[in-house]
C-alpha cells in the first residue's frame, strides 16, 4: 500500500469513533488515538545526504549525523506521525529547501495543520523561513517559521527526536569521519493551514538566510464528510507538564490536552457546527486524579484550544514530580463531557511510553507564560563610557577596543580622543553608580506594567554588580563603588514591588578570563568553570540574602513569595557546568516551592528561545521571548542616541501586541547611564506603555494566541486564559467609527463587546455579522475617551475590544 493510501485508510478508520451527536443521548465511543496525520512523500525532492560518516549535511564544513542516533521508519512525535528512511545507508535523505514546490495529492483535500521534522545547518542563533500554501480557490497563505539548528555553539534548543538510543552519548561526524561531541538534534515545527479551501501545493522556503533541511512533512486533514450538523471535536495531543499550582493545599500538575473542532472553517457560517456551551475535560489514571477540570465553551470549525487539566496523585504521600520520573507511569485517559455530564469523547493516552523523564528539563512555569511582558536592564562598566557608533552594541565597548586595527577602530579612536591612551577600561569602575537609586528604577519597572525584571548581574567583561564572595573580587562590592547593586535592586523590589518576578542575567563566558594576563579582581590558580562560573551561579542562588532563586544568567526565574518567581537569563552559552548547577538548584527550588525558568543560552536544558530584535508574521508553537531595547541599536546606554531616536511608545506597544499575538513574551531593555540613571526619554516611554496596560492589560496578561491573525497587520486576536473572553486589538483608529473583521472569530449572538479604557461610553457596543464579515460600531466619543494614552501616542492608536461569551 502506498504511503498516502495508508494514511488515508488510517484516517477513514478513525472517523467513525468521533461521530458524536452533541446534545443527544451520549454515545460511548471506543478510546481513540490522536487525529491521524498524513505523511507526504518527499523522496523526489531529496537533494542532500545528512547521515553517515561520509555525508555532507552542512555543505562547506562536511559534517554529518551519526546514523546510530537517528530514528528510522515510522515515528510519532506529539501525536503526529512522520516517515523516515528505514535505514540510513548513504542515500539522499532530506531536502534542502530552495523554493521547491510540493504538490499535494487531491485526495488530501482540506488541511488544517502542517508539521515538519527539520534542522537548520547553521551553528548560530535562530533564523526565519517562509512557507507559502497554495489553495484550490487560487488564494495563498504565508507562514513564517522560527528555525533552530542541528547544533549550536551559543544557543541550545530542545529537539524532538534526538536519538534512537537516549542512553547513548550524542555526537556527530566532522570532516573525514572524525567525532565531534556536540549534541545534534531534530526539531518539529507546526503551522496552522487555512481550511477554507483544499490545499493544492506548498512552496518551500528559499536559501536567503539559513539552509533548512526537511527530513519529513505531515499534514493534518480537516474532515469534510461529516453527516451531522454538529461540531466534530477531537483530541489532538495530550502531555504531562511540570507546570504546577497549589489547589486545595496540594501541588497539582497540569496535563495539557489540545482539543480541536476538526471541521473546515468553511462551515463557520452554520452555527450548528460550533461548540457553544460549557465542556469539561478530566484526566484519570491509576496514579492520578483530576482536582480541577479543564473547561472551554466556544470552539468554531477549524479552531483548537490548549486545555489544562490539573491533577494530583491519588496517594497523597507521593510527590507528583516523582511520579513523572517513574518508568512505570500508568496509561491514563482524557475524557470530555458536556454540562450534563454526558461523555462526548475519550482518549487513552500513554504519556511517556515507559521512557524515563529527565526532570532537569522543565516547562516554563505558569507565571512566565502569563506575564508576557518583562523589563531587561543592561548596566555595568560599559555604561560609564556609554558610547558606540549607530548599529553597534555599546556594551561591547571593551571588546571592540581590542579586536580591530587601532587606526580603523572607531571605539579605540573615540576612547583615545575622549579619555586618553593610558586610560584603561577598568579605570571607569570608580565612576559607576554615583546616582544609582534602586527604588526609582523599580518604580519605573512597575510603572511600565511589566510583570518581571531581569538585570544584568555580570556581562561578558566579567564585572559583577553583586557580592561574588570568594569566586572573584571583580565586583562592585570590592572595587570602585563598594556597593551590592543587585541586592539593592531586589530588596527594593521585595519591599516596594512584590508583584514583580525577579530574574537574573548572567554571562556564561568572559572575554578575557581565563587569559594569559590576570585582570582586576581575579584570583590565581582558579579553575574557571568550577571555581568561578559555577561558584558565581551558586552565590546568586544561595547567598545569605538570595538574589533570585535562579541561575545568574538571564534565563532563570524563581518563586520567592506568592507571586514572586525567579528567572535565569544566561547569555552566549559555551563551556559550562549548568547540569551540575541544576542538579543542586532544582531540588532546592522544589523544596522551597519556587517556580523557576531558564533560557536557551545556559548551555543545557533550555525552556524558551531568545531571538533578539525579532518578530514573526505567524504564530510560533514553541515558547519564545524576543528581547530588544528602547534604544534601537544598543542594550547598554549610548550617549550617541538622541532623545528622538529612541523607539516611540507607539512602536513599543505595537511590538508588544504583535509578539504576544504570536505566542511570545516581550523583554524590553533599558540602559541606565554610568551614574545609574535611566535616560528621561526611556522613562517616558516605559510610563506610556504602563498607561496603556492599565486599561488594556487584560488583553496581554494571561492570554493565548488565536488560531490565526485577523485582517493582516492591523488587527490581533487574543484569547483570555479562561476561554470565556477574547480580545480584538486594532492597531489604528477605526475609520467611520467601524471596526471591520473579515475573518471568522468566535463571536455569537448575545455576546457583549466593550471598548477598554472608555468607561461606560465603551460598553455594550453594537455589532453585526453579515455573511461572515463582522462590523463593530465604536462611537467617536468612546474612542476619544480611550485616548490619547500617554506621551507620544496619538489618540488614533489602539482600540481594544473585549468580547464576553454568554452561553
In this prediction, residues 4-17 reach a mean pLDDT of 35
Q: Whole-angstrom distance between the N-terminal and C-terminal Cα of the chain?
A: 47
Whole-number pLDDT of residue 343: 84
DSSP3 helix / strand / coil % (the chain, rounded to 5): 20, 30, 50
CB 161 within 8 A of CB 117: yes
Helix ranges (DSSP H) in 2-108: 3-14
Say which residue, 538 or 550, is predicted with more confidence: 538
Which has more confidence, 639 or 710?
639
Q: Point out which residues pair with 726 in neighbouring strands.
A: 719, 803
Q: What are the backbone angles phi and psi of residue 73, rounded to the nearest 5°?
A: 70, -145
- Phi, psi (deg, nearest 5) at residue 189: -140, 140
Beta strands 373-377; 452-458: pairing state: parallel
Q: What is the mean pLDDT of residues 413-426?
A: 94
Residue by residue, DSSP assigns 192-216 as E--TTS-EEEEEPP-SSSS-EEEEE
Say if CB 585 and CB 591 are below 8 A apart: no
Write down the pLDDT at residue 420: 94
The residue assigned the cell 466556544 is 298
Pick the CATH number of 233-359 from 2.60.40.10, 3.30.300.280, 3.40.50.300, 2.40.160.10: 2.60.40.10
Q: What is the pLDDT of residue 548?
A: 39
Of the candidates 457, 463, 439, 574, the one whose C-alpha atom is nearest the C-alpha of residue 504 is: 457
Confidence of residue 608 (pLDDT cuts 50, 70, 90): confident
Is residue 574 scored above 80 in pLDDT?
A: no
The residues spanned by each domain of the chain are 34-221, 233-359, 377-385+419-661, 706-804
pLDDT for the residue 693: 92
Provide CATH code, domain 34-221: 2.60.120
Q: What is the dihedral of CA 474, 479, 485, 486, to 10 degrees?
A: 20
Q: Classify 692 as helix, strand or coil.
A: helix
pLDDT at site 720? 67
pLDDT at position 152, please?
61
pLDDT tens-place string over residues 152-190:
655 555 555 444 333 334 677 887 778 877 777 788 899
pLDDT at 356 over 70: no
The pLDDT score that the predictor gives to residue 610 is 81
Report residue 344 CA to chain centroid gap.
32
Which grid cell is 173?
561526524
What is the average per-residue pLDDT within 688-707?
87
The conformation of residue 530, written as its DSSP 8-state character, comes to: I
Phi, psi of 684 (to 5 degrees): -60, -40
Angle between helices 578-592 and 534-542 (to 10 degrees): 10
Q: Distance between CA 318 and CA 240 in Å, rounded?
A: 17
User: Which pLDDT tens digit goes with each residue over 92-138?
Assistant: 999 999 999 999 999 999 999 999 999 988 766 678 899 999 999 99
Give the pLDDT confidence of 450-497 residue by residue, as tens digits: 999 999 998 988 899 998 887 788 899 999 999 999 999 999 999 999
Residue range 265-299, pLDDT digits in tens: 889 889 899 998 889 999 988 889 999 999 998 89
For residue 35, pLDDT beyond 80: no
- 134-139: long-range pairs with CB below 8 Å, 24+: 134/199, 134/200, 134/201, 134/202, 134/203, 135/194, 135/196, 135/197, 135/198, 135/199, 135/200, 136/197, 136/198, 136/199, 136/200, 137/196, 137/197, 139/194, 139/196, 139/197
Q: Which of 151, 152, 175, 171 is nearest to 62 (CA)?
A: 175
- Within this chain, domains 34-221 and 377-385+419-661 share the same CATH topology: no
Q: Which residue has the higher pLDDT, 14 or 800?
A: 800
> Which of 56-60, 161-165, 200-204 has the largest mean confidence?
200-204
Q: Which of 1-15, 333-347, 681-695, 721-735 has the lowest mean pLDDT?
A: 1-15
For residues 612 and 10, the model is more confident at 612
Instruction: Please state which architecture CATH assigns to domain 706-804.
Output: Sandwich (2.60)
The answer to whether 256 touches 239, Cβ cutoff 8 Å, is yes
**3 pLDDT more than 70:** no
Q: Is residue 118 a contact partner of residue 147, using CB atoms and an 8 Å limit?
A: yes
Q: What would be the CATH architecture of the domain defined by 377-385+419-661?
A: Alpha-Beta Barrel (3.20)
Residue 687, φ and ψ in degrees, nearest 5: -70, -30
Amino acid at each position: 500500500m502506498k504511503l498516502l493510501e495508508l494514511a488515508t485508510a488510517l484516517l477513514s478508520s478513525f472517523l467513525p469513533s468521533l461521530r458524536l451527536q452533541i446534545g443527544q443521548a451520549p454515545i460511548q465511543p471506543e478510546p481513540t488515538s490522536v487525529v491521524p496525520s498524513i505523511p507526504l512523500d518527499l523522496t523526489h525532492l531529496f537533494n542532500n545526504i545528512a547521515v553517515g560518516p561520509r555525508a555532507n549535511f552542512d555543505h562547506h564544513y562536511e559534517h554529518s549525523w551519526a546514523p546510530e542516533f537517528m530514528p528510522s521508519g515510522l515515528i510519532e512525535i506529539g501525536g503526529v506521525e512522520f516517515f523516515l528512511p528505514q535505514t540510513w545507508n548513504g542515500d539522499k535523505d532530506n531536502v534542502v529547501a530552495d523554493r521547491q514546490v510540493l504538490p499535494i495529492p487531491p485526495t488530501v483535500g482540506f488541511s488544517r495543520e502542517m508539521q515538519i521534522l527539520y534542522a537548520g545547518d547553521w551553528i548560530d542563533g535562530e533564523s526565519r523561513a517562509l512557507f507559502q500554501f497554495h489553495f484550490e480557490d487560487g488564494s495563498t497563505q504565508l507562514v513564517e517559521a522560527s528555525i533552530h539548528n542541528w547544533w549550536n555553539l551559543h544557543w541550545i534548543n530542545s529537539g524532538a527526536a534526538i536519538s534512537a538510543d537516549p542512553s547513548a552519548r550524542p555526537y556527530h561526524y566532522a570532516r573525514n569521519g572524525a567525532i565531534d561531541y556536540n549534541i545534534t538534534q531534530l526539531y518539529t515545527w507546526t503551522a496552522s493551514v487555512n481550511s477554507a479551501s483544499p490545499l493544492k501545493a506548498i512552496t518551500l522556503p528559499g536559501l536567503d538566510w539559513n539552509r533548512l533541511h526537511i527530513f519529513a512533512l505531515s499534514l493534518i486533514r480537516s474532515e469534510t464528510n461529516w453527516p451531522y450538523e454538529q461540531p466534530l471535536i477531537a483530541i489532538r495531543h495530550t502531555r504531562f507538564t511540570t507546570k504546577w499550582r497549589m489547589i486545595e493545599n496540594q501541588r497539582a500538575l497540569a496535563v495539557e490536552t489540545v482539543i480541536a473542532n476538526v471541521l473546515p472553517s468553511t462551515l463557520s457560517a452554520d452555527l450548528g457546527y460550533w461548540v457553544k456551551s460549557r465542556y469539561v475535560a478530566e484526566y484519570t489514571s491509576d496514579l492520578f486524579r483530576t482536582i480541577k477540570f479543564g473547561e472551554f465553551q466556544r470552539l468554531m470549525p477549524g479552531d483548537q484550544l490548549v486545555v489544562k487539566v490539573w491533577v494530583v496523585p491519588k496517594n497523597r504521600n507521593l510527590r507528583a514530580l516523582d511520579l513523572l520520573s517513574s518508568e512505570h507511569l500508568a496509561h491514563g485517559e482524557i475524557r470530555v463531557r458536556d454540562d450534563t455530564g454526558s461523555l462526548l469523547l475519550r482518549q487513552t493516552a500513554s504519556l511517556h511510553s515507559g521512557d524515563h523523564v529527565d526532570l532537569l528539563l522543565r516547562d516554563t512555569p505558569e507565571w512566565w507564560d502569563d506575564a508576557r511582558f518583562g523589563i531587561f536592564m543592561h548596566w555595568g562598566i560599559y555604561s560609564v563610557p556609554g558610547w558606540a557608533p549607530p548599529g553597534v552594541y555599546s556594551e561591547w565597548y571593551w571588546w571592540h577596543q581590542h579586536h580591530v586595527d587601532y587606526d580603523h577602530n572607531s571605539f579605540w579612536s573615540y576612547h583615545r580622543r575622549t579619555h586618553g591612551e593610558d586610560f584603561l577600561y577598568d579605570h571607569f569602575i570608580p565612576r559607576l553608580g554615583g546616582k544609582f537609586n534602586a527604588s526609582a528604577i523599580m518604580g519605573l519597572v512597575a510603572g511600565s506594567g511589566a510583570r518581571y525584571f531581569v538585570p544584568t548581574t555580570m556581562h561578558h567583561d566579567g564585572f559583577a554588580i553583586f557580592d561574588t564572595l570568594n569566586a572573584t573580587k571583580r565586583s562592585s562590592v570590592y572595587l570602585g563603588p563598594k556597593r551590592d547593586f543587585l541586592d539593592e535592586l531586589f530588596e527594593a523590589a521585595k519591599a516596594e514591588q512584590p508583584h514583580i518576578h525577579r530574574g537574573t542575567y548572567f554571562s556564561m563566558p568572559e572575554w578575557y578570563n581565563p587569559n594569559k594576563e590576570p585582570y582586576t579582581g581575579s584570583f590565581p590558580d582558579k579553575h574557571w568553570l568550577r571555581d568561578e562560573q559555577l561558584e558565581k551561579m551558586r552565590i546568586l542562588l544561595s547567598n545569605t540574602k538570595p538574589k533570585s532563586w535562579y541561575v545568574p544568567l538571564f534565563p532563570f526565574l524563581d518563586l520567592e513569595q506568592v507571586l514572586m518567581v525567579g528567572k535565569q537569563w544566561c547569555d552566549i552559552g559555551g563551556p559550562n557546568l549548568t547540569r551540575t548547577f541544576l542538579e543542586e538548584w532544582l531540588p532546592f527550588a522544589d523544596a522551597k516551592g519556587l517556580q523557576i525558568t531558564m533560557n536557551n543560552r545556559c548551555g543545557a536544558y533550555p525552556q524558551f528561545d531568545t531571538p533578539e530584535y525579532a518578530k514573526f508574521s505567524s504564530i510560533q508553537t514553541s515558547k519564545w521571548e524576543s528581547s530588544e531595547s528602547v534604544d534601537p541599536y544598543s542594550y547598554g546606554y549610548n550617549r550617541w542616541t538622541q532623545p528622538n531616536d529612541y523607539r516611540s511608545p507607539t512602536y513599543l506597544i505595537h511590538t508588544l501586541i504583535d509578539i504576544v499575538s504570536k505566542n511570545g513574551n516581550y523583554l524590553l531593555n533599558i540602559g541606565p547611564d554610568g551614574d545609574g540613571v535611566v535616560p528621561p526619554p526611556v522613562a517616558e516611554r516605559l510610563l506610556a506603555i504602563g498607561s496603556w496596560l492599565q486599561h488594556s492589560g487584560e488583553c496581554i496578561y494571561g492570554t493565548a494566541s488565536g488560531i490565526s491573525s485577523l485582517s493582516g497587520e492591523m488587527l490581533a486576536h487574543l484569547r483570555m486564559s479562561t476561554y470565556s473572553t477574547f480580545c480584538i486589538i486594532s492597531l489604528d483608529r477605526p475609520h467611520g467609527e467601524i471596526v471591520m473583521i473579515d475573518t471568522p472569530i468566535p463571536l455569537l449572538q448575545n455576546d457583549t463587546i466593550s471598548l477598554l479604557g472608555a468607561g461606560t461610553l465603551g460598553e455594550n457596543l453594537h455589532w453585526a455579522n453579515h455573511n461572515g464579515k463582522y462590523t463593530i460600531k465604536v462611537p467617536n466619543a468612546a474612542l476619544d475617551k480611550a485616548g490619547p494614552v500617554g506621551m507620544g501616542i496619538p489618540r488614533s492608536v489602539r482600540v481594544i475590544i473585549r468580547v464576553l461569551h454568554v452561553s
